[in-house]
């Protein structure tokens, strides 16, 4: 009978992989989601499909103004990240600190738009979609420094974000004691190439567009990359987590192979 401990390594490797991956189940579903052209919607209303095309501003949709950059977008996600430090301990003794930036505020907003893939246009209402977008703007502000005017107005109008322009007057020196922050925006603007995955249903469309709308589904995603790249990102976590997972799985596999005399 083979020993049980190699199975623990295999199981631990699988658990590390699943916990580190951003959204493994969604990634697997995405790999099984077919790609459609907008013109295919003239004859079909798929419950789940992916479409790639260019964003066109809808006449009844418009755009929203991004809070940190001031740019106009049809979909926007923003975050305020604040630096946090935590102590590292070993055998009850401190041996260093770990610094990370954690979200303290944020939000998302979207307006309906048209997706044009060259075969036609279809309306997309991304209000309920999960955004998978790379950062377009990241503004770092050191603690104690005065932020740019747009960020200053954002802080002044937001009760959940306090002032970071904090300093201690030591006579001849003003010492900034605020916490470092990052202000991040992820945007979809008219003219951007995007991926939309979701279900289509009958609806009144714009003149010349397919009489359908994509406004839900499982998954319902708005991304700025292709379907396979997005699936890979959702299935794979950080490089360190991947290496640890592979090492655990390899260790368990080699142990079983040795027991069976395959090595």
pLDDT of residue 70: 96
Whether residue 199 is found in the same domain as residue 240: no
Least confident of 94-98, 100-104, 132-136, 230-234: 94-98
Q: Are residues 29 and 12 in the same domain?
A: no
pLDDT at 204: 80
CA 91/CA 215 separation, integer angstroms: 53
What's the number of CA atoms in the CB half-sphere (13 Å) around residue 101?
15
> Three-state DSSP class for 251?
helix
pLDDT number for residue 176: 53
Quick check: 178 and 144 in contact, CB under 8 A?
Answer: yes
Percent of the chain with pLDDT over 90: 54
Mean pLDDT of the chain: 84
Which carries the bigger pLDDT value, residue 79 or residue 251? 79
What would the two tokens of residue 194 be?
A: 């995007």
Same domain membership, residue 228 and residue 209: yes
Whether residues 230 and 247 fall in one domain: no
- pLDDT greater than 70 at residue 241: no
**Domain identity same for 168 and 242:** no
Q: Quote the pLDDT of residue 60.
A: 84
| Mean pLDDT computed over 239-256 | 65
Residue 41 clears pLDDT 80, i.e. is over it? yes
Rounded to an integer, what distance in angstroms lies between the CA atom of residue 8 and that of residue 76? Answer: 43
Q: What percent of the chain has pLDDT over 70?
A: 71
Q: In terms of domains, do 131 and 211 share one? A: yes
Residues 186, 109 share a domain: yes
In DSSP terms, 84 is beta-bridged to: 100
> What is the extent of the structural domain holding 89?
22-235
| Cα 106 to chain centroid, rounded | 13
Task: Indicate the SS3 state at residue 106.
Answer: strand
What does the block give as tokens for 85?
């430090």
């Amino acid at each position: 009978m083979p020993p049980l401990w190699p199975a623990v390594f295999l199981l631990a490797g699988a658990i590390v992989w699943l916990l580190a991956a951003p959204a493994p189940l969604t990634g697997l579903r995405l790999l099984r989601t077919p790609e459609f052209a907008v013109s295919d919607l003239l004859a079909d209303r798929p419950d789940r499909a992916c479409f790639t095309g260019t964003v066109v501003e809808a006449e009844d949709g418009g755009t929203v103004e991004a809070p940190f950059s001031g740019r106009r977008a049809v979909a926007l996600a923003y975050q305020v990240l604040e630096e946090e430090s935590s102590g590292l301990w070993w055998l009850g003794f401190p041996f260093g600190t770990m610094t990370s930036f954690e979200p303290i505020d944020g939000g998302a907003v979207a307006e309906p738009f048209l997706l044009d893939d060259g075969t036609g246009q279809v309306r997309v209402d991304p209000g309920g979609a999960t955004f998978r977008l790379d950062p377009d703007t990241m503004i770092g502000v050191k603690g104690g420094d005065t932020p740019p005017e747009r960020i200053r107005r954002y802080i002044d109008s937001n009760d959940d974000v306090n002032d970071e322009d904090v300093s201690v007057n030591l006579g001849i020196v003003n010492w900034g004691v605020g916490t470092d922050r990052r202000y991040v925006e992820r945007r979809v603007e008219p003219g951007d190439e995007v991926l939309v995955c979701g279900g289509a249903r009958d609806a009144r469309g714009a003149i010349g567009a397919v009489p359908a709308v994509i406004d839900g589904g499982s998954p319902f995603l708005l991304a700025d990359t292709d379907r396979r790249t997005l699936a890979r990102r959702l299935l794979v976590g950080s490089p360190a987590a991947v290496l640890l997972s592979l090492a655990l799985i390899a260790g368990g596999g080699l142990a079983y192979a040795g027991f069976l005399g395959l090595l």
